[in-house]
Amino acid sequence: MAPRRSQVAELLRQRVLSALHLGLLRHGDRLPSVRELTRELGVAPRVILAAYGELAEDGIVEMRPRSGIYVSRTAGHGIGVDAQLGWLTEVLAGAMKRGIPPLDLPARLTRSLATLQLRAAAIECNDDQLVSMSAELRRDYGIDATPIELEVVTSGGPLPLSLRSADLLVTTSPHAATVGALAARLGIPHIAITMCTDLFAEVGRLLAHGPVYFVVADPRFEQKLRANLGTGPHRSNLRTLVCGRDDLGAILPTAPMYLTKLARQALAGSPLVARSIPEARVFSDESARELLDFVLRVNLATLASRDAA
């Protein structure tokens, strides 16, 4: 069964944004033509054109008549004006159907998201993921996140107050069982997130064509990456380098390269940082929904109890 337009659009979106993060594309670069993608994906040209049109509405690509399709100047930095107009109209119209005037919606959203100052313990086994997780919890969800080494949880010693008093424990899938057991013992909710799913999917595809570099700050994350990505037939193409330990000059100039947030901080001012756009969201869409559900649920419950008092 041939893929639908939405599936093709999502595939192209993933490729463009991942290529920007990996330094393979820059804003203004030309993208494969409709004819090229028709041959590669085996779908009708009209499907490719419609998919590109969807990405143009989202501000990811620019379609220039008689010239081609190019990476937009705003790709990776938020959606375009047309896309904002479309989804904002839907959001406001949906609110009106539920008796909420559009001008009242911002205040309602603020109360639903920020009535409580929530605290989370971000639990992981390496500094790269601890920094990325904590930063994203603060930036996107308004959660005051404290990074906690997994060893602190498993050592059998006393638990820090920041963990025992947290409203939520957040970890990644490999440590879900350990953190879930701790959460049950403490009576604290927990969420096991997935990270960089689109990026890792694209890296898996690119490994078949040549070396792909990951630059990290913590050797423990290097080991984790190798365990997760370095198991396929092209595992020899996965090149993991640690800041301060390995020779970063060995990175091929045209090869895909990803820097973690912590590695970017360690390499501030290096030409390597300029090769790709800054790290964006690393939580998967599914994990983002789970976190938003938690934030909304506890805030709305608090508001309901206050109204009932």
Structural domain contains residue 109: no
Of 157, 153, 193, 160, the closest CA to residue 292 belongs to 193
- Closest CA relative to residue 55, chosen from 18, 37, 82, 85: 82
pLDDT of residue 79: 67
Q: Are residues 299 and 188 in the same domain?
A: yes
Q: Is residue 165 part of a domain?
A: yes
Burial zone of 129 (CB within 10 Å; 0-12 exposed, 13-18 middle, 19+ buried): buried
Predicted local distance difference test score (pLDDT) of residue 58: 87
For 167-225, the pLDDT digits (tens) are: 999 999 999 999 999 999 999 999 999 998 989 999 999 999 999 999 999 999 999 99
Q: What's the pLDDT tens digit per position in 3-62?
A: 688 899 999 999 999 999 999 999 899 999 999 999 999 999 999 999 999 999 888 999
Does residue 80 have a pLDDT over 70? no
Q: Cα(122)–Cα(292) distance, rounded to whole angstroms?
A: 16
Task: Choose among 273, 214, 276: nearest CA to 76.
Answer: 276
Contact by Cβ (8 Å): 55, 13: yes
pLDDT above 60 for 2: no
- 221 and 261, same domain (yes or no): yes
Q: Between 81 and 163, whose confidence is greater? A: 163
177 with 226, same domain: the answer is no
What backbone torsions phi and psi does residue 57 show, to the nearest 5 degrees? -65, -30
Cα gap 55→71, rounded to integer Å: 10
Under 8 Å between Cβ of 145 and 122: yes
Please state the φ and ψ torsions of residue 111, each to the nearest 5 degrees. Answer: -65, -35
The count of domains in the chain is 3
* pLDDT exceeds 70 at position 302: yes
Give pLDDT, residue 170. 98
How far apart are the two ends of the chain, measured CA to CA in Å? 57
The domain boundary, picked from 33, 51, 79, lies at 79
CB 173 within 8 A of CB 192: yes
Identity of residue 77 = H
288: domain range? 116-195+284-304
User: Is 169 within a domain?
Assistant: yes
Asked if 216 contacts 243 with a C-beta cutoff of 8 angstroms, the reply is yes
Give the helix ranges, DSSP H, for the chain. Answer: 5-21, 34-41, 45-57, 81-97, 105-114, 127-141, 150-154, 161-164, 176-186, 197-206, 219-229, 261-266, 271-274, 285-308
**Least trusted range by pLDDT, from 70-79, 148-157, 221-230:** 70-79
Q: Would 125 be classed as within a structural domain?
A: yes
pLDDT confidence bin for 134, thresholds 50/70/90: very high
In this predicted structure, the answer to whether residue 139 has a pLDDT above a threshold of 80 is yes
pLDDT exceeds 70 at position 281: yes
Q: 172 phi and psi, to 5 degrees?
A: -110, 165
Is residue 177 domain-shared with residue 299, that is, in the same domain? Answer: yes
Mean pLDDT of the chain: 92
Least confident of 246-255, 266-275, 276-285, 291-300: 276-285
Q: Quick check: 20 and 277 in contact, CB under 8 A?
A: yes
Residues of the chain above pLDDT 70, percent? 97
Query: Same domain, yes or no, for 19 and 53?
Result: yes
Cα separations in angstroms, 259 against 27, 63, 128, 162, 277: 18, 30, 10, 29, 10
- CATH (domain of 122): 3.40.50.11950
* Same-domain status, 121 and 180: yes
Same domain for 250 and 270 = yes
3-state secondary structure 41-81: HCCCHHHHHHHHHHHHHCCCEEEECCCEEEECCCCCCCCCH
- Domain end call among 29, 58, 79: 79
Do 208 and 246 have their domain in common?
A: yes
pLDDT in the model for residue 3: 67
Mean pLDDT of 69-94: 82
Q: Is the pLDDT of residue 279 over 80?
A: no
Whether residue 120 sits in one domain with residue 190: yes
In a domain? residue 107: no
Q: Are residues 190 and 229 in the same domain?
A: no
- Is this prediction's pTM over 0.85? yes
In a domain, 131, yes or no: yes
